[in-house]
Each structure stands twice: as structure tokens, then as C-alpha cells.
Amino acid sequence: MKGQQKLTDQVEDAALRISKLIRETPLQYSSRLSQKYHANIYIKREDLQEVRSFKIRGAYNKISSLNEAEKKRGIVCASAGNHAQGVARSCFELKIKGAIFMPRITPTQKMDKVKQFGGEYITVHLTGEIFDDAYTASVEYGKKEKAVYIHPFDDTDVIAGQGTVGKEICQQLENIDVVVVPIGGGGLISGVGSYLKSKNPYISVVGCEPQGAASMKKALHHGEVTKLEKIDPFVDGAAVMKVGGITYEICTNIIDDIVVIPEGKVCTTMIELYQSDGIIAEPAGALSIAALDNIANVIKNKTVVCILSGGNNDILRYPDIMERSLVYLGLKHYFIIQFAQKPGQLRGFLNEALGPNDDIVLFEYVKKTNREKGPALVGIELKKKTDLKPLMEKMDTMQLRYRKIESEDIVYNLLV
């Protein structure tokens, strides 16, 4: 199509423009994943960029395209972290002043890196709890200060910059069947998908989103850009309440399928990547690999490229990542247990209900006063998922009054 070819030409131009600063990242063959899924699976390692994500491609392409008058006005952007680092590094390289708005929940590691990359050329403003809050504040600032807005995804120059990932993939590998791309606002998949489809229309472009922020899935389902009522910000690099208008229009023509991944599955994949491959992926970066289970039948005997979009993960998040993974795998459960007011109830629970490999990882009386009559919050870690049923059957046999805390319970969010 004419529009798709135009974007492909813009990607070619962007590749030349950003070559001074951008690294060509490796396309790494994964023996482990290839054997697991009976396919030829490659990982595009965008976590190995200087700023440890693909976002610098679009940011630098956009900012370096500004005329002198625009550069003097300075720039402003909003970001959950990776776009901010790309903008900060670009501002430093081009000696342009920039204001960067980030949600307060942004991992400390990302905030520190933004300041490191931008130095004296950038100022960081923390506002709101999610990307959309920071975006609103940044737009208001831009209007007030007459700064040029650098959108993280809904801009053709940014999309073209991200599309250079697709150009590199084409240069590194022939006969690609499937490419799996994470989606936040849609900039990466718009650029990569358009470029790959222009070279081979038979390539299947599969998008993947976190379950708690599946904004592109909803938009395509409704036939228009639709804002989510709420999101789970855990996969911060892809937690966007509303995709872009430009990216939506492009995606309607290039996406063959979208899969939605539970946050716990993302955490399990992050742990596997680290333990098996020595790869430190951020949650959004692990999305494409986490999606493989959903398309296992589709990719069998095919050549697949998964874009690992970023590796900016704060080490302080790993306890939360481990927790979410165990819950997702069915190995960790929480109960409210009312022990009867008679001797030996707790000892009986330990000796009669718990299996030989079950472990209590949390025990706390709910009431701080009058503990004797208050229920207890108990967290139990199992060796196998199938150990849950025997545990609950033994608790029933003991006639314990208990309630398993499910994910929809309000208190559950305080635990996980």
C-alpha cells in the first residue's frame, strides 16, 4: 500500500540519520526456545542498546529532525522510563534542553539513568501514578513553555525510528515466518510491522500486550481507539491506557494476531531468561518470549523473531517478580484461617494439614489486639501446583474455618 511504502522509505531515511548514535543489536539464536517450541527462534536484543531499549531509535530520529528554531525552543516528553532515557541521551548528544515527565511509580533505576544520560540538558518531573497522568502534565507544560513535544509512540518520525529494528532484522535473517512484537502505545509494532510487510507481505506480525493493559487489543476489537478504564502498571514499559491514533490506523493493516499475557506469566519468563540465558529483561522486554506459549501451534517448524525490547529492570523489583511468578504458577496461596479457641489447633494444622513439602511463608494475626479471637493470614508455598487440593481437603477434614484469598479480593492487592 502507498502509506506503508511511504513509512518504509521513512525507515530507510531514519536508519541513515540515527546511525551515528544507534547500535545495530544482535539477532541471537535461542537453542533453548527453539527446542522447546520445535521452531527456529531468534531474539532481537534491543536490551543491548546504550540506553538498554529500542526507544532511543525513535527519540533520536525525531529530535535530530527538528529545525534550528524548534531546537532552541527545547523539547518535552512523557515516559514510563525507556522513552525518557532515549530522549535524555538525544538531548545530551544534540545539546538541546528537555523537560521529561515520568509517573511516580517509575523504577528508581530508570529515573537515575535518565538523569545520567541527559545531564545538565534535562529536568525530570515526577507526576501521577501512570504514564497517562505524566502525559497530561507534559502536554500542559509544552503549551505553556512552547516546547516541542516528543511523543513516545504516536508520531511518524518516532515510528520510523523504531522501524529501523525491522530493517536490521531483514538484514540479519532471511525467510522470516513470524515476528513477535510487544505493544505499549504501538510505535514499535507499527514501524517494524510496516517495514517487514513491505519486504514480505507473508510475514505474520503478532503483537503481545500485558493482561492489565491490553489497549491495542481493545481498540482493534471496538474498531476505534478506546481508553481503558484502569490498568495494571506492573509492565510499566507497556502500560498505556490508550494507544495512538496514528499507530492504531497502521496496526489495523499490519497486525495478524494479538495475544494477551498475564503479568505472572511475564514474571516467570523474566526469571527463565535470567536463569537459563543470562538475560536481564524488563517486564515489557519479556512480553514477546512470554507470548510463545500462546502461539506454540502456529510457530511449529517456522522461523520466528521475538523482539526483546528492553532490559531496564530495577533489582529491587525482583522480590515482587518472584512473588507474582509463584502465584501465577499456582505454587503460592494465601488463606484467612480462623483457628478454634482450643489447645493444639495450630500444631494440628502444621502436622495434619501441611504436606511434607509445603512451607509457611507468611503467618500474621489479622487483629493486632485480642489475637486469641482473631483470624490469621497465612501464606503457603507448595512444591507442586497439584498439592493445593490435598492441602484444602485436609483443612476441611480438620474442620478449620478458612477462606482462600482470590485475585479479585481487595486484600489480594495488598499481598501481591
Average pLDDT of the segment spanning 310-336: 91
Residues 378-388 have pLDDT tens digits of: 999 999 999 99
Neighbouring C-alpha atoms within 13 Å toward the C-beta of 160: 25
Provide the residue type at 354 as one letter: L
378: left (phi over 0), alpha (psi -120 to 50) or beta: beta
pLDDT of residue 414: 66
CA 55, CA 295: separation in Å to the nearest integer?
26
Residues 259-281 have pLDDT tens digits of: 999 999 999 999 999 999 999 99
Catalytic residue among 64, 198, 309, 325: 309
Catalytic residue among 55, 62, 110, 218: 55
What is the pLDDT confidence band of residue 373, given thresholds at 50, 70 and 90?
low
Interhelix angle 245-254/2-18, rounded to 10 degrees, is 110
Q: Does the reported pTM lie above 0.85?
A: yes
pLDDT of residue 5: 76
Helices and strands (H, E) in the chain, number of each type: 18, 14
Q: Which helix (H) or strand (E) holds 332?
A: strand 332-338
Interhelix angle 2-18/187-199, rounded to 10 degrees, is 110
Give percent of the chain with pLDDT exceeding 90.
78
> Is residue 55 flagged as an active site residue?
yes
Of 162, 160, 202, give the one whose Cα is nearest residue 178.
202
Q: Find where cell 498505556 sits.
A: 240
pLDDT of residue 201: 95
What is the pLDDT confidence band of residue 372, given thresholds at 50, 70 and 90?
low
The SS3 of residue 406 is coil
Provide the residue type at 179 as one letter: V
Q: Find where cell 504458577 sits.
A: 329
CA 232, CA 272: separation in Å to the nearest integer?
22
Average pLDDT of the segment spanning 207-234: 95
Q: Is the pLDDT of residue 369 over 70?
A: no
DSSP state of 367: -
> Is residue 230 flagged as an active site residue?
no
Mean pLDDT, all residues of the chain:
92
Query: The C-alpha cell of 260 is what?
Result: 494477551
